[in-house]
Amino acid sequence: MKTQYAEIAFWSWLALLLVWLPGYFTGKRARDVPRLGFQVPISILLVVCFVFLFNPALFGLGMAITPQTALFGVIGLTLDLIGIAFAIWARLVLGRNWSGLIVTVHEEDELVQSGPYALVRHPIYAGLLLALAGTTLTLGTLASYVGLAAGLAALMMRVELEEMALGEHFGETYRIYQQQTKKIIPFMW
């Protein structure tokens, strides 16, 4: 059973998609695609994540893990909306430096360290993880938790891939940024 909280969460993901789409056409040209073979399992996990997340009863996995109450709906939706807003903010600040679904090194890349990038090195992923957790909590089904697990694995692998690519591309400048800024969770990790 889809609640009004779940309905709003789904619309928030659509809003994120609409912000993302123009970036595929306006981004900088890729100079190098690092470790393409490593990116295939990440992409598969992301597809699994969203298939399960947007089909919360898939394969008979619609049994409730968290109750569909107003409390869980409000908490989940709040996390979702904060996460989506944070990811959109980060995406807009990153501008043409954004690489989309495949991690790439662009011509004339800049190391963005302002806005949400002053809080964490990977604010898009931080926002997506928060939104995934919020949507999962709102839906509360086993399928949505499977989607969350797949998304968590994919995004953590992608973070490590980007850490390597950015370290290779920006060298000492990136190592200093790593020392000054947490990876995903402000002030913690």
Q: Sketch the domain layout of the chain as residue ranges.
A: 41-180
CA torsion 14-131-9-75 (nearest 10°) is -160
The predicted-structure confidence for 126-162, as pLDDT tens digits, reads as follows: 999 999 999 999 999 999 999 999 999 999 999 998 8
Which pLDDT belongs to residue 107? 63
Q: With a threshold of 0.85, does the pTM exceed it?
A: yes
- Provide mean pLDDT across the span 118-126: 96
**What are the C-alpha distances in Å from 132 to residues 67, 69, 82, 95?**
17, 18, 11, 23
Query: Mean pLDDT in the chain?
Result: 89
Given a cut of 70, is residue 106 above it in pLDDT? no
- Provide mean pLDDT across the span 100-129: 86
Give the DSSP H or E segment for 47.
Answer: helix 36-53
Q: Report the alpha-carbon distance of residue 56 to residue 108 in Å, rounded.
A: 42
Which pLDDT belongs to residue 5? 94
The predicted-structure confidence for 4-38, as pLDDT tens digits, reads as follows: 999 999 999 999 999 988 877 776 655 555 556 77
Given a cut of 90, is residue 96 above it in pLDDT? no
Q: Which residue has the higher pLDDT, 101 or 25?
A: 25
Q: Report the alpha-carbon distance of residue 144 to residue 61 in Å, rounded.
A: 8
The predicted-structure confidence for 31-71, as pLDDT tens digits, reads as follows: 555 556 777 899 899 999 999 999 988 899 999 999 989 99
Which pLDDT belongs to residue 28? 60
Which pLDDT belongs to residue 31? 57
First CA to last CA distance, the chain: 36
156 Cβ contact partners less than 8 Å away, ≥ 6 residues apart? none
- Provide mean pLDDT across the span 92-105: 76
Q: Report the alpha-carbon distance of residue 178 to residue 97 in Å, rounded.
A: 18
**What are the C-alpha distances in Å from 65 to residues 74, 89, 139, 148, 173?**
16, 31, 9, 13, 45
| CATH fold group of domain 41-180 | Four Helix Bundle (Hemerythrin (Met), subunit A) (1.20.120)
